[in-house]
Amino acid sequence: MAEPLRVALAGLGTVGAGVIRLVEANAALIERRAGRPIRITAVSARDRTRDRGVDISRYAWEDDMTVMSERGDVDLVVELVGGSDGPALSLARKTLGAGKGLVTANKAMIAHHGMELAALAEQNGAPLRFEASVAGGIPVIKGLREGVAANRVERIYGILNGTCNYILSTMEDTGRDFAEVLAEAQAKGYAEADPTFDIEGTDAAHKLSILSAIAFGSTIDFASVETSGISRILAADIAQADALGYVIRLIGMAEADDEGLFQRVQAHLVPFDNLLAHVDGPTNAVVVEGNFSGRLLFQGAGAGDGPTASAVVADIIDIARGMDTGFEADRAFSIPVAGLEAMAVADSGTRQSRAYIRFMVADGRACWPRSPPQCVMPGFRSKA
Taking only the tens place, the pLDDT of each residue in 206-233 is 999 999 999 999 999 999 999 999 999 9
Tell me the CATH class for 5-136+305-322: alpha beta
The confidence band for 373, taking pLDDT boundaries of 50, 70 and 90, is: very low
Candidates 146, 294, 160, 314; CA nearest to 230 is: 160
pLDDT of residue 201: 96
Kindly tell me if the per-residue pLDDT of 325 is higher than 50.
yes
- What's the rounded mean pLDDT across residues 338-349? 86
DSSP character at residue 346 = P
Candidates 131, 136, 130; CA nearest to 301 is: 136
The confidence band for 253, taking pLDDT boundaries of 50, 70 and 90, is: very high
Question: Cα angle vertex 298, ends 171, 183, to 5°?
Answer: 25
Type of residue found at 298 = F
pLDDT of residue 365: 61
Q: What does residue 235 show for φ and ψ, rounded to 5 degrees?
A: -60, -30
pLDDT of residue 189: 80
The confidence band for 382, taking pLDDT boundaries of 50, 70 and 90, is: very low
The confidence band for 138, taking pLDDT boundaries of 50, 70 and 90, is: very high
- What's the rounded mean pLDDT across residues 185-189? 86
User: Is residue 40 within 8 Å of residue 23, measured between CB atoms?
Assistant: yes
CB neighbour list of residue 231: distance below 8 Å, 6 or more residues apart: 178, 199, 200
Q: Of the ranges 4-13, 58-67, 90-99, 332-341, which one carries the lowest mean pLDDT score?
A: 332-341
Candidates 225, 249, 255, 64; CA nearest to 157 is: 255
User: Is residue 144 within 8 Å of residue 179, measured between CB atoms?
Assistant: no
User: Is residue 68 within 8 Å of residue 62, measured between CB atoms?
Assistant: yes
Instruction: Give me the residue spans of the domains in the chain.
Output: 5-136+305-322, 140-301+341-350
- What's the rounded mean pLDDT across residues 20-30? 96
In the Cβ-directed half-sphere of 37, how many Cα atoms lie within 13 Å?
Answer: 8
Per residue in 44-98, pLDDT (tens digit) is 999 998 988 999 999 999 999 999 999 999 999 999 999 999 999 999 999 999 9
- What's the rounded mean pLDDT across residues 19-33? 96
- What's the rounded mean pLDDT across residues 118-141? 93
Handedness of CA 116, 77, 317, 50 (dihedral sign): negative
pLDDT of residue 68: 95
pLDDT of residue 274: 93
pTM of the prediction?
0.90
Kindly tell me if the per-residue pLDDT of 359 is higher than 90.
no
Candidates 201, 167, 181, 370; CA nearest to 280 is: 167
- What's the rounded mean pLDDT across residues 179-195? 89
* 48/61 Cα distance (integer angstroms): 8
Instruction: Give whole-number Cα distances, 333 to 50, 115, 253, 336, in Å.
Output: 37, 9, 19, 7
Kindly tell me if the per-residue pLDDT of 287 is higher than 80.
yes
In the Cβ-directed half-sphere of 23, how many Cα atoms lie within 13 Å?
Answer: 29
Kindly tell me if the per-residue pLDDT of 6 is higher than 80.
yes
- Beginning with the edge strand found earlier in the chain, give each strand of the sheet holding 153-159 in spatial order: 226-227, 260-271, 246-257, 153-159, 283-290, 294-301
Candidates 46, 34, 29; CA nearest to 5 is: 34
5-136+305-322 and 140-301+341-350 in the same fold: no
Kindly tell me if the per-residue pLDDT of 308 is higher than 60.
yes
Q: How many CB atoms lie within 10 A of CB 51?
A: 6
Find the catalytic residue in 94, 100, 107, 207: 207
* Fold held by 140-301+341-350: Dihydrodipicolinate Reductase; domain 2 (3.30.360)
Question: Residue 44: beta bridge partners?
Answer: 10
pLDDT of residue 360: 75
Alpha helices in 139-233 (DSSP H): 140-142, 162-174, 178-187, 196-199, 202-216
Helix (H, G, I), strand (E, B) or coil at 237: helix
Helix (H, G, I), strand (E, B) or coil at 172: helix
Rounded to the nearest integer, the mean pLDDT of the chain is: 90
* 28/47 Cα distance (integer angstroms): 30
pLDDT of residue 357: 81
Kindly tell me if the per-residue pLDDT of 379 is higher than 50.
no
pLDDT of residue 356: 77
Question: Residue 177: beta bridge partners?
Answer: none
**94 is annotated as an active-site residue:** no
